[in-house]
Structure 1
Amino acid sequence: MTPFVLGATAVLLAGPVPALLARWRRLHHTPFTAMVLWQAVALAAVLSAVGAGLSLITDSTWNKDHGPLELAAAVLAGLLTVSVVVRLLLSGHRVGTSLRATRRRHREQLDLVAERLGAHGRVRVLDHDVPVAYCVPGVGNPRVVVSGATLQRLDERQLNAVFAHESAHLKARHDLVLEAFTVLHRAFPTWVSSCAALREVQLLVEILADRAALKVGSAKDLGHALLTMAGGRAPEGAMGAGTVDLVERVRVLGELRPRPLQVFLLLATSWALLVAPTALVVAPWLNEL
């Protein structure tokens, strides 16, 4: 029974659950715990898929009366489990290699054509007539990029909010979170709702950076800056302040009251999602000891 429960759980967490979560806009008001929930759903889906195969193999191995059908099922389960792991590893290698190469080239180009902004050692200014701001992650040498039009059209408080937004991305390593969900998105078939998950996580990291920006500027300053940069686009591999669902982000900026009950429920759900498949996989092994 355990393999079937884990298999059904994997299917639910890979398809219907992300599709429903993506439609629950209240999650945007507690972005950190919402991010924890999305990560728990993704990890639990992988654990359930791998655990279903391992459980079926274990049941067939420890069952002394197993016949050809049970043996064939165990072999098939083993192949599926290996397939899931291999697809994840290959996708991780491809996505990671491609992103790091793209960002390295972009940082090198920035150092050649962009100007360094005063005392901001990692801020570069591009001569561009469209307001835009983005960051290019990198271990030890990240870059924050703004266009000349951004400096002209935003005042000091608005610029400080933008710089705080981009610095929050770099400090929290939001790029690694997005990379993990990109790996999942590219590793599995189209029926898996990884596209919805990736879109929501992209929005949540921007809301988290917006919250960090509010520590140095008002919601009005940040909202004005975001709307000013609405026409700008960040290059591949970068994270742009004004590129993801501005309407929803501005709406969330206007509703900042604490929601402790929602935070507690999301954290409890995340914990349960991770513990349940792990316990189902480990229990048969413990019973045989």
Structure 2
Amino acid sequence: MTPFLLGLIGIALSLPVPALLGRADWPYRSPAAGIVMWQSLALAAILATSGAGLSTALWLVSEDDPQPWRVALHVLLLLVGVLIWARFWWAVWTVWRRTGARRRRQRHLVDLLAEPEGDVSDRVGPALRVLQHESPVAYCLPDRTKSRVVVTSGAIEHLSADELRAVLEHERAHVSARHDLVLEGFEFLRAAYPRVLRTDAPLEQSRVMVELLADDAARRVAGDRALAGAIVALAGSQTPAGTLGVGSAATIRMARLRDPRSGWWAAGLAWAISVVVLVVPTVFLAGPWIFHAIDVLRG
């Protein structure tokens, strides 16, 4: 029974539960807790699927006279677990390589074509580059040692001093908090599951929530009015693949600025969901199975 229950939990946490939560907007009230919630759901789904595979393997080697149909179901469950883990590690390798190559190529082009920061930057941080282009665009290229914050000359001309300060702080927050790694983690987990067993909701909501977290950093430095002006000025601006840009998710970000009520209840709900999905399957299913497995291996 344990393999099937863990398998059902893994499927539920990979598709129907995230799809349902993806329709809600309350996680945006507390983006940090919301991201933790999505990470917990993804981790719990992977752990449940892995547990289903391991318990299936133990059942296959320990059952004395299994019925053929039960053997077939257990083998199918085991193959699904192996497939998901194989897809996960393949995704880690391919996404990491592809994203890294894009950012290196973009950083090389930026360093060739853009001008150094000049008088634009007002504090020490990632290297700032100014591209000569009339469209207002701002984005960052995160990296462990060679991060770049890029703004166009059009952005500098369109933005006030306070709005430009908000933009720069927003991008620096992305770089310092390594929001790119958060999003890459969700890309790994999304790619681990076949299309019929997954939803894009965790990745899509997390993309918005990292923008909200960067907005919070910008608000502390430049204020709400300056940030709102910058969001409007840069709304919908197109940024290169592999970058994080200040122009995305403008509608949700402006709504949060207009209604800045405390999200303590949203944070509490997100943390409660995180604890439940990680603790309950472990205590009631994985824990007892581990002790049973120890007894079987000893005997």
TM-score scaled by length of structure 1: 0.93
C-alpha offsets along residues 138-181 of structure 1, whole Å, 9 cap, x if unaligned?
Answer: 11010000000111111111111111110111111110111111
Counterpart position of 1:203: 208
Q: Is the 8 A contact 2:86 2:192 kept in 1?
A: no
Counterpart position of 1:51: 51
Whether 2:281 is the aligned partner of 1:277: answer: yes
What is the correspondence of 1:5-20 to structure 2 with a 5 Å cutoff?
Answer: 5-20=5-20
Whether 2:158 is the aligned partner of 1:153: answer: yes
What is the correspondence of 1:60-71 to structure 2 with a 5 Å cutoff?
Answer: 60-71=60-71
Structure 2 residue runs without a partner (length 5+) = none
Structure 1 residue runs without a partner (length 5+) = none
Q: Is the 8 A contact 2:218 2:227 kept in 1?
A: yes
Counterpart position of 2:101: 101
Q: Is the 8 A contact 1:6 1:51 kept in 2?
A: yes
What is the correspondence of 1:122-201 to structure 2 with a 5 Å cutoff?
Answer: 122-201=127-206
Q: Secondary structure at the match of 2:136?
A: coil
Q: Secondary structure at the match of 1:99?
A: helix
Q: Secondary structure at the match of 2:128?
A: strand
What is the correspondence of 1:244-263 to structure 2 with a 5 Å cutoff?
Answer: 245-263=249-267
Q: Secondary structure at the match of 1:191?
A: helix
* Distance across 2 between alignment mates of 1:91 and 1:150: 36
Distance 1:26 1:72, change over 3 A: closer
* Distance across 2 between alignment mates of 1:97 and 1:67: 45
* Distance across 2 between alignment mates of 1:128 and 1:186: 36
Q: Is the 8 A contact 2:236 2:250 kept in 1?
A: no
Q: CA RMSD in A?
A: 1.8
Q: Is the 8 A contact 1:47 1:277 kept in 2?
A: no
Counterpart position of 1:224: 229
Report sequence identity in percent.
38
Q: Is the 8 A contact 1:56 1:73 kept in 2?
A: no
User: CA shift at 1:70, angstroms?
Assistant: 4.4
* Distance across 1 between alignment mates of 2:173 and 2:145: 15
Q: Is the 8 A contact 1:55 1:281 kept in 2?
A: no
Q: Secondary structure at the match of 2:195?
A: coil
Q: How many residues are paired up?
A: 288
Deviates more, 1:276-285 or 1:206-215: 276-285
Structure 1: which amino acid aligns with 2:152?
Answer: S
Deviates more, 1:276-285 or 1:131-140: 276-285
Q: Is the 8 A contact 1:174 1:205 kept in 2?
A: yes
* Distance across 1 between alignment mates of 2:266 and 2:112: 48
Q: Is the 8 A contact 2:131 2:151 kept in 1?
A: yes
Whether 2:242 is the aligned partner of 1:237: answer: yes
